[in-house]
Amino acid sequence: MKKIVILISGAGSNMAAIVQAAHQQRWDQRLGVQVAAVISNKPGAAGLDWLRSQSAYSAIQTDVLEHAQFESREAFDQALMKRIDVHAPDLVVLAGFMRILTPGFVAHYAGRLINIHPSLLPAFTGLNTHQRAIDAGCQFAGATVHQVTAELDHGQILAQAVVPVLPGDTADKLAARVLTQEHLIYPAAVAAFFKP
Ligand code: GRF
C-alpha cells in the first residue's frame, strides 16, 4: 500500500477534503494508496481536533512537531523529515502548512511534494493573495496545485480552478469562494498522482 502524509498548520479543510475523498472513493482499493498520517507544526491546529474526532479515520495517525521549539529552520526541517519518513510516504501533501521549507527538505522529497496555493500561479505568489487580486482589479481568481520546488510557489502546475471576482468582494468572501474549489481540485490532483 502506498502512503500519503499531509502537513497542516490550521483549519485543515483541504486535509479533510482529501481524507474524505480517500475514504469515499476507496483510494485504498482503487489506487492502492492510503493517508497514513497528518502532521501539524501547531498543537492547536483545528484540523487535528477534527481528525481525532472522526472515528471513521482513526487509522490515520496524528502528530505534532512545534517549530517554535527548534533553534533554526534547518533543525526543524530535519526533525520533521524524520517524523514524516517513519511512514515512508510516496507523496507529502502540504495543506495550509504555513512554513517556508529549506532547500534540503524540498530536495529530499523531490517529485513527491505538492502544495495548494490560493491564486492562479504564476500570479500572486506569497501571502494575501485574495486582497492583492482584488486590488489589481482581477476579474478572475483561483487556486493552484503544484509540485514544490526550492523557489516559493513555483514548480510544475498540476491543477487549477478559476472563480470570478465579484463586485463588492472582500478578501474573505473571495477566499471562501476559492476554498470551495480547493476542496475539489486538491483531492482530484492527489488521486491523479496515483492513477496508473
Ligand atoms: C488554503 O487557502 C490554501 O490554499 C492555503 O492555505 C489555506 C489552508 O486552508 N495554502 P485549510 O487549512 O486547508 O483550511
Annotated domain spans of the chain? 2-194
Quick check: 121 and 144 in contact, CB under 8 A? yes
Distance from residue 97's CA to the centre of ligand 1 (Å)? 8
Q: Is the CB of 121 under 6 A from ligand 1?
A: no
E runs forming strands in the chain: 2-8, 33-40, 61-64, 91-94, 113-117, 140-147, 157-164
Nearest atom of ligand 1 to the alpha carbon of 179: 2
Model confidence at 141, pLDDT cuts 50, 70, 90, reads: very high
Cβ atoms < 10 Å from Cβ of 93: 28
**For residues 158 and 30, what is the distance between their CA atoms, to the nearest angstrom?**
21
Q: Tell me the residue length of the chain.
A: 196
**Residue 190 confidence (pLDDT):** 98
* Predicted confidence band of residue 3 (pLDDT cuts 50, 70, 90): very high
Give the model confidence (pLDDT) of 5-64 as tens digits: 999 999 999 999 999 999 999 999 999 999 999 999 999 999 999 999 999 999 999 999
Atom of ligand 1 nearest to the CA of 115: 10
In this prediction, residue 154 has a pLDDT band, given cuts at 50, 70 and 90, of: confident
Ligand 1 contact, 13 CB (< 6 A): yes
Closest residue by CA, ligand 1 atom 8: 96
**Binning pLDDT at 50, 70 and 90, where does residue 150 land?**
confident
CATH number for 2-194 (one of 3.40.50.170, 1.20.1250.20, 3.40.50.720, 3.40.640.10): it is: 3.40.50.170
Say how many Å lie between the CA of residue 15 and the centre of ligand 1: 9
Ligand 1 pocket test, candidate residues 51, 125, 128, 179, most atoms within 8 A of CB: 179
pLDDT in tens, 82-136: 999 999 999 999 999 999 899 999 999 999 999 999 999 999 999 999 999 999 9
Residue 148 scores a pLDDT above 90: yes
Q: In this structure, which residue's CA is closest to atom 9 in ligand 1?
A: 96
Instruction: Report yes or no: 77 and 101 within 8 Å, Cβ to Cβ.
Output: yes
Rounded Cα distance between 129 and 179, Å, is 12
d(CA 66, CA 158) in angstroms, rounded, equals 30
